[in-house]
Structure 1
């Protein structure tokens, strides 16, 4: 396989723009807007350039590159500390239990409460793979490479990490959840609100959204059924997150009602199991399949390959992976089993 992950550069703008036009809406981290994407790449460049090991409000953008052609066919992002530029809002789904002694009746009502519980967390997001490349495990490469990046730069990320999954979007590109909840207060379609959020942030939600809890029973059926449900295209991503020890803890997106998954950063499987080893050989022919990464910050590269771990802490790699990563004997490579 000739694909590898690398840090995004300013000259990746057109590649990202063309992919953004294919997302179909509800994809805030990859807006089809050149100005917004240019700003995102500028933030990423600053984040890759900063050398201090501390948790700051930064955004890292990675791209999936065909090493043979140079074509960019996917992207993913990491946000090291959300809720700094503007509040990070979520709805929290909880239950209120009330009892009437006179009626001898107990009533349990589900509520959606607007919260900022997840502020200060790190976030993995912005994962998009070109439709023509959705085979051969490239989506998994995109997703899990982010965790190796975190493991390799652990001091730059918070102790809790989250992932937002896109919610239900109908055939018109609208959101039943938005129409049933927030859309009633804003006079904006989901597409308008989603685009505004991608460009300007969601402070307008705080400015105009009622702060009182929303009783789920008072919503229409389509809005109720969308709460905490991922878009059909995101079901595989949800399974991958669960395999990495992320959990759904009742947080949902304020726009489309999609689930927000959370985990303790050090409990994420690919982070906990990542190993740093010195390369002893680059001519391995057997070995186990693995995800491999090397390089610091802007020099980060990741790919699939094969590894053989040695008792002395070194490892052997196959030749193709070594070439994709640009490493040789004596270099350092991080890895996790595929």
Structure 2
């Protein structure tokens, strides 16, 4: 079977909703709520329709499509500039060192500080692959297609990009981090707060969350142990992000404590090293690559075969057909790693 990434359309609402019901909670960017998903598609349509290069607060929704059947089996999202409609909150883990002469001891206390340091960054998120397709590198195709989209539309994105990874969720769907910290202030279960946040945004955090630093020694052991750790299902995603050049710089999610990874946009490996060139010819064979083409609503990305030469790129006929490109069109490609 051959798959491609493309921009989401109105017809994708139903499969997006069906996939959202499979996430298991803690997946803010893909809520199992039809109106919220409809609003995301509307934002994406508006972003795809705008042709200017200025950075604005926009969302692009992409989907993974089985070319043969037309079935949608995965999705991912790109936010061009977070923190513009609502504050973008994170916790930053740091240390306060204090010394007592009388006791002749130095004390180092770990703290979590509520911050909006990452406001204005772009974000890659909302990645979900249907459980029936978690083989054959399709997660890699979903993840890295976002960076080729950025490369082809670089002016629409900020100079720093972040990725939030889902944190530890227990078997009952709860969050040890939430229960040990924010849940004590809000009087809401993690599931209720996560659903509210996915639909209504972070503003209730600004209204109710204490602004002073939180000493982690005052948290439960299970809450402390969850800080900065990804959900077991997200460990592979964290390794892929690290391979792209993302780093964990002590920022974590305010809901489940999951790690927030950041990178300079132009230093993300698949942005920096992608080759952008004209299709010079169609042929057979070539190197295994990720290759993308098309602007905005016409964007496509597939696994394919290509060779880069002095005159441009030679694509295999199958790759060109799956992308919908011909000789003279522009493509971006990066090797599979």
Same fold (TM over 0.5): yes
Of 308, 325, 328 in structure 2, the residue corresponding to residue 327 of structure 1 is: 325
Q: Which residue of 1 aligns with 2:201?
A: 201
Q: Distance in 2 between matches of 1:319 and 1:66?
A: 18
Deviations 1:77-101 (A, max 9, x none): 0000000110000000000000011
Query: 1:291-330, aligned counterparts within 5 Å?
Result: 291-312=290-311, 314-330=312-328
Whole-Å separation in 2 of the counterparts to 1:152 and 1:329: 18
Distance 1:51 1:278 in 2: 21
Counterpart CA distance in 1 for 2:282 and 2:230 is 41
Match of 1:159 in 2: 159
In structure 1, stretches of 5+ residues that fail to align are none
The answer to whether structure 1 residue 241 and structure 2 residue 247 are counterparts is no
Output the CA distance in 1 between the equivalents of 2:119 and 2:331.
32
Show the counterpart of 2:289.
Answer: 290
Correspondences of 1:1-338 after superposition (within 5 Å): 1-285=1-285, 287-312=286-311, 314-338=312-336
Distance in 1 (CA, whole Å) between partners of 2:310 and 2:295 is 25
1:238 alignment partner, SS class: helix
Instruction: For 1:279 and 1:262, locate their aligned partners in 2 and report how far apart those are by CA, in whole Å.
Output: 33
Runs of 4+ in 1 over 2 A off after TM superposition: none
Deviation at 1:224? 0.4
Shift of 1:284: 2.3
Measured in 2, the distance between the counterparts of 1:330 and 1:51 equals 22
Distance 2:149 2:99 in 1: 50
User: Which whole-Å CA distance do the structure 1 matches of 2:316 and 2:290 have between them?
Assistant: 12
Give 1:279 shift.
1.0
1:201-230 alpha-carbon deviations (Å, 9 max, x no partner): 011011001111000011111000000000
Per-residue deviation, residues 92-120 of structure 1 (Å, max 9, x unmatched): 00000000111110011100000000000
The number of residue pairs the alignment matches comes to: 336
- CA–CA distance in structure 2, aligned partners of residues 211 and 334 of structure 1: 45
TM-score by length of 1: 0.99
What is the SS of the residue equivalent to 1:307? strand
CA shift at 1:321, angstroms?
A: 1.0
Q: Helix, strand or coil: the match of 1:282?
A: strand
Structure 2 unaligned segments of length 5 or more: list them.
none
Q: Give 1:311 deviation, angstroms.
A: 2.0
What is the alpha-carbon distance in structure 2 between the residues aligned to residue 328 and residue 208 of structure 1? 55
Give the secondary structure class of the aligned counterpart of 2:124.
strand
Taking the aligned partners of 1:166 and 1:295, their CA distance within structure 2 comes to 31
